[in-house]
Amino acid sequence: MSYISEVIEMTERKNPGEAEFMQTVREVLGSLAPAVAANEKVLRDNCILERMVEPDRQIIFRVPWTDDKGVNHVNRGFRVQFNNAIGPYKGGLRFQPNVTLSVMKFLAFEQTFKNSLTGLPMGGGKGGSDFDPAGKSDAEVMRFCYSFMTELYRHIGPDVDVPAGDMGVGAREIGYLFGAYKKIRGAYENGVLTGKGLSFGGSLIRPEATGFGATYFFNEVLEHLGESIKGKTFCLSGFGNVAWGAALKITELGGKVLTLSGPDGYIYDKDGVSGDKIDYMLTMRASGRNVVKDYADKYGCEFVAGKKPWGNVKADVYMPCAMQNEIRIEDAKAMVSAGVKYLNEVSNMPTTNEALAYLQANGVIVAPSKAVNAGGVAVSGLEMSQNSERLAWTEKEVDDKLKHIMKGIHTQITDALSAYGMGYDLVAGANLAGFKKVADAMIAQGLN
Ligand code: 2IT
């Protein structure tokens, strides 16, 4: 059996029931055949693949907290520290009822390769809780975050592990988490978390970074193919921070955003989501209602309940900005029938492996999330640099660095593809490029 198949089978055996984690392991390892063929003995001797699929540690803890009525609750907290070969563990915290160990592991595994692609010294980690922030008061969120940090603090630090936000964790939560950490440690180590408020060490452009970076990366793809964003139509899903940043940059570059989505359905704005309508996304998010229909009610456009735009709206580009596995095989088939040419994945692992294979086999250009959304964590890396140097860069300085990083990711991918004599397969290229740097560092550092 091939080295890759052996490791996939072993991982399956050791992690029963972890569907999301196995999905990403199959996807990533499945693309590494050329790297293994070129260097099999060294990789095997150093147990590189076996070590890459086994997290350094997986921390699971109890998070008790009291709601505003005085009723007590217990949630489960996680931090998966996957790989620190190239830098301290780095990755977000997700607060969402469907968080499980498998979800944390898929995200932390992906994060390892994504962070490698940024070119910055960051390892891979992820954490969170099955806590549902919907409908909670500020005081409840604060008590939850303080309790969560009472355990998390002992596992993190500016040179150890640097969490940030993800779904359900924004500036408010990061503020409370930092406050709790500072209180427990008795030290002002603001490099311990990223995505902080600007008044205590946050970076300009961090809120925009994931959406801006995703658009910059896609722009590189189009340039490579001799095209441009100007005049192209986009379907986005989600209406949070990531979709907001993407909508801002897409419209600035002359593209048109036709759709947004929420748990309740999607809106179709044939005039394009632009100007004040983009600002309104922030209002909707801040309301805590978590419904996108408010947009249709306010601007009088179409709202389709209970569906995603995939296959239902024709556009040049689909850009999922919401969830994992939101594009399934039936959506992929509908996309191909609708003549959609590009899938620019923004949310982590938005496409099932089956859908991905179908899209690629049918000529859709797929830009993978670990490259496309890397701008978010890249600016987190820039926040860490600013914190450790005790300074703050201007908006332009951060934005220029972000553009440069996104361009660099595209170049690394095309370099990896040409090194292995492959065509323009961005999915394989991102895995091969991300893998190489981490594997080289692991080999150099010996068996640990
Ligand atoms: O998925 C991601 O890359 C993030 N949620 C951001 C992680 C970070 O450390 O900024």
What's the mean pLDDT in 416-424? Answer: 98
- How distant, in Å, are the alpha carbons of 55, 90, 251, 296, 324 from that of 375? 24, 14, 18, 30, 18
The answer to whether residues 276 and 244 touch, using CB atoms and an 8 Å cutoff, is no
In angstroms, what is the span from residue 373 Cα to ligand 1's centroid? 8
Instruction: Please tell me the residue having the least CA distance from ligand 1 atom 4.
Output: 92
User: Does 288 have pLDDT greater than 90?
Assistant: no
Residues 104-162: tens digit of each pLDDT: 999 999 999 999 999 999 999 999 999 999 889 999 999 999 999 999 999 999 999 99
Give the integer Cα–Cα distance in Å for 179 and 274: 36
What is the structure's pLDDT at 165? 98
Residues 28-85: tens digit of each pLDDT: 999 999 999 999 999 999 999 999 999 999 999 999 999 999 999 999 999 999 999 9
In angstroms, what is the span from residue 410 Cα to ligand 1's centroid? 19
Sheet of 302-305: strand order equals 302-305, 265-268, 256-262, 233-236, 317-319, 342-344, 365-367
Cite the DSSP H helix spans in 255-343.
Answer: 276-287, 293-299, 329-337
Place of tokens 């569906």: 307
With a 6 Å cutoff on the Cβ, whether 377 touches ligand 1 is: yes
Q: Which of ligand 1's atoms lies nearest the C-alpha of 122?
A: 9
Residues 374-384: tens digit of each pLDDT: 999 999 999 99
**In a mutational test of the pocket of ligand 1, which residue from 126, 166, 210 has the highest number of ligand atoms less than 8 Å from its CB?**
166
With a 6 Å cutoff on the Cβ, whether 91 touches ligand 1 is: yes
User: Does 1 have pLDDT greater than 90?
Assistant: no
Residues 196-251: tens digit of each pLDDT: 999 999 999 999 999 999 999 999 999 999 999 999 999 999 999 999 999 999 99
Give the integer Cα–Cα distance in Å for 293 and 260: 10
Sorting pLDDT into bands at 50, 70 and 90, what band is 17? Answer: very high
With a 6 Å cutoff on the Cβ, whether 380 touches ligand 1 is: yes
SS3 content of the chain, % helix, strand, coil (to 5): 50, 15, 30
With a 6 Å cutoff on the Cβ, whether 416 touches ligand 1 is: no
Residues 297-348: tens digit of each pLDDT: 999 999 999 999 999 999 999 999 999 999 999 999 999 999 999 999 999 9
User: Does 256 have pLDDT greater than 90?
Assistant: yes
With a 6 Å cutoff on the Cβ, whether 126 touches ligand 1 is: no
In angstroms, what is the span from residue 191 Cα to ligand 1's centroid? 15
Assessment of whether the complete model's pTM goes beyond 0.85:
yes
